Amino acid sequence: PYRGSWSSESSDSVISIDSGNNLYRVVLMGETGVGKSTLASIFAGVQDNLENCDILGEDTYERTVTVDGESATLIVMDTWENKDEDNWIQDHCMQIGDAYLIVYSITDRASFEKASELRIQLRRRRQAEDIPIILVGNKSDLVRCREVSVAEGRACAVVFDCKFIETSAAVQHNVQELFEGIVRQVRLRRDSKEV
């Protein structure tokens, strides 16, 4: 795609906080216990004490990553479970994300069904928008407790028109790929608007 300095046409739809500085808000959603916070803390490099990560709040992390030679700053929000009385927070989360990770556990079919529900809710809230979403089947290390097959996860993602990946936060499998994937999904949409 051509990126001329004169192209300012697309700047009137200020839904995203990104204004050319590659800053993307990524919201984690999913049932309690599926591994959202563990995934977020791996992203944030909590274990490795990374210097390039800022912990913005108790459950919001900012980190700049390089994907395909281009840097992007992700603000990862693990705020989904901060329950309040009138669901204001969840409502807000549905509005502000530039991208979403809908997480379920492959060992918990109910969490998989919940993921579908969330996908439908999100679609309803952001109707006209083509928001990047990845359906994430976490806990892939727990092979003996598997209740949702890879094929089911993949089929669900096809129906819901989003990407799919299985991860294991416990053994850190595919976690980096997950966050790289969401950056690529955001860029694909950005680049297709810039012709």
Residue 114 sits in the site that holds ligand GDP (CB under 6 A): no
> Within its chain, how far is the Cα of 148 from the centroid?
20
Residue 35 sits in the site that holds ligand GDP (CB under 6 A): yes
Residue 47 backbone dihedrals phi, psi, to 5 degrees: -65, -35
Among 18, 113, 129, 141, binds ligand GDP (CB under 6 A): 141
Residue 82 near which of Mg ion, ligand GDP, none (CB within 5-8 Å, type-dependent)? none
Of residues 103, 98, 82, 96, the one with CA closest to residue 28: 103
- Single out the segment in contact with ligand GDP by CB under 6 A; choices: 9-17, 128-136, 167-175, 177-185: 167-175
Give the pair of three-digit tokens for residue 157. Answer: 């993602």
Using a 10 angstrom Cβ sphere, with 0-12 exposed, 13-18 middle and 19 or more buried, the burial of residue 74 is buried
Residue 37 sits in the site that holds Mg ion (CB under 5 A): yes
Residue 138 near which of ligand GDP, Mg ion, none (CB within 5-8 Å, type-dependent)? ligand GDP
Which of 37, 176 has the CB closer to Mg ion? 37
Residue 129 sits in the site that holds ligand GDP (CB under 6 A): no
Q: Closest distance between ligand GDP and the C-beta of residue 139, in Å?
A: 4
- Single out the segment in contact with Mg ion by CB under 5 A; choices: 37-45, 95-103, 119-127, 138-146: 37-45
Q: Rule CB under 6 A: which residues touch ligand GDP?
A: 30, 32-38, 138-139, 141-142, 168-170
